[in-house]
Structure 1
């Protein structure tokens, strides 16, 4: 368990806490949801998927995150509205940059998963909060993604029929932006600028066509 250095009400659960002899109160209160997410990470995120449309695991960094003990979980008090969820998630944005400075060796393997169990059919709160938070996160070079059993209506990059953001518990995941995130960001001018500020000159070869097409459109 990791406690925020300035706000003891903010705590992050480590995977080892789930099997600790004296589990933290958060684990006692939400153990089923936490275990479901950790199991899902191991059996879904860390493995190939026959409908993904590419080789490799669903998430290229999940196994490294688990193996390096950089896979953190929390169950914030989310409230009843999108604004409540946004307010509950916001403190973790600044904390994440302290836990995983961009120039640190563990940066790309660090993730915080913020579980929102008990929403029932109010999954629109997760989608709405992700949409409301994304601009501020991207501006800081971070990504925030939504997962739930809806699942979110966002197609896979390589297979438009797949909905890859399906998860057993509603949650929002925080991680650093990586160069292969370009397709998730290119459609929004502000997100595009944030991406190029960070990765200009380091765009993966298979994604450079997207950049060139946009540049050519600007010339026409």
Structure 2
């Protein structure tokens, strides 16, 4: 069933199991369309191959397991925020709640995901606040071993890792999503010394084989630069 925060009951987390019902719980029923659109997008887009991805496998290798383990949580915030600092304060609340959600440790914890939806941000000019908030918080999140990603219909102007012409962060509803950093996240953090330092601290002794040469080169560069 849907999760309710003890101090912020107005912003519950919808679980994958909630979508089995014909109607979502009353607290979020007004946002049924947006929630179901993102839930379907997760299944149909994130959990599937894409011809423009540039590699084999699903667009997101972790979403399928996150959904199966009932660890893929959605929350909705109506309105049109324009201030990245305002959204950053909101996302810090979710970061703290994320840390409290079970499982808090063990292998299953890496599949915990929280997506915060902004369904009223629909015009092209609306999406900048989502991009700016992600930029504002990404280092702060990474310092705690978390990844924060921005998604919206724009889509965000970030090219795919294996195909520079692909824009993989397209979603039907503007949102910010958080999850634990994992060893295969190196391509996402290599361009920022702070997040790279966190990655090396967390995964320096268990880098995937296919990334070891690149990770070592990045570590050597970081050591040389004195960062």
Report the TM-score when normalising by structure 2: 0.89
Indicate yes or no: 2:47 matched with 1:43.
no
What secondary structure is seen at the aligned counterpart in 2 of 1:11? coil
* 2:120 alignment partner in structure 1: 118
* 2:154 alignment partner in structure 1: 150
What secondary structure is seen at the aligned counterpart in 1 of 2:64? helix
What secondary structure is seen at the aligned counterpart in 2 of 1:54? coil
Q: Structure 1 stretch 98-107 or stretch 39-48: which is displaced more?
A: 98-107
Equivalence map 1:90-105=2 (5 Å): 90-100=92-102, 103-105=105-107
* 1:160 alignment partner in structure 2: 164
* 2:30 alignment partner in structure 1: 29
Question: Which blocks of at least 5 consecutive residues in structure 2 are unaligned?
Answer: none
What secondary structure is seen at the aligned counterpart in 1 of 2:99? helix
Label 1:219 to 1:128 Cα distance change in 2 as closer, same or farther (>3 A).
closer
* 2:82 alignment partner in structure 1: 80
CA contact (8 A) 2:77 2:119 kept: no
What secondary structure is seen at the aligned counterpart in 2 of 1:174? strand
CA contact (8 A) 1:112 1:173 kept: yes
CA contact (8 A) 1:65 1:110 kept: yes
Give, in angstroms, the shift of residue 17 of structure 1. 2.5
Equivalence map 1:205-216=2 (5 Å): 205-216=209-220
Give, in angstroms, the shift of residue 56 of structure 1. 0.8
Label 1:191 to 1:125 Cα distance change in 2 as closer, same or farther (>3 A).
same
In structure 2, distance between residues paired with 1:215 and 1:176: 21
Report the TM-score when normalising by structure 1: 0.92
Give, in angstroms, the shift of residue 188 of structure 1. 1.4
Runs of 4+ displaced beyond 6 Å: none
Question: Which blocks of at least 5 consecutive residues in structure 1 are unaligned?
Answer: none
In structure 2, distance between residues paired with 1:51 and 1:137: 29
* 1:63 alignment partner in structure 2: 64
Number of equivalences = 220
What secondary structure is seen at the aligned counterpart in 2 of 1:118? coil
Alignment RMSD, CA only?
1.9
1:62-86: per-residue Cα shift (whole Å, max 9, x none)? 1111111111000135633212221
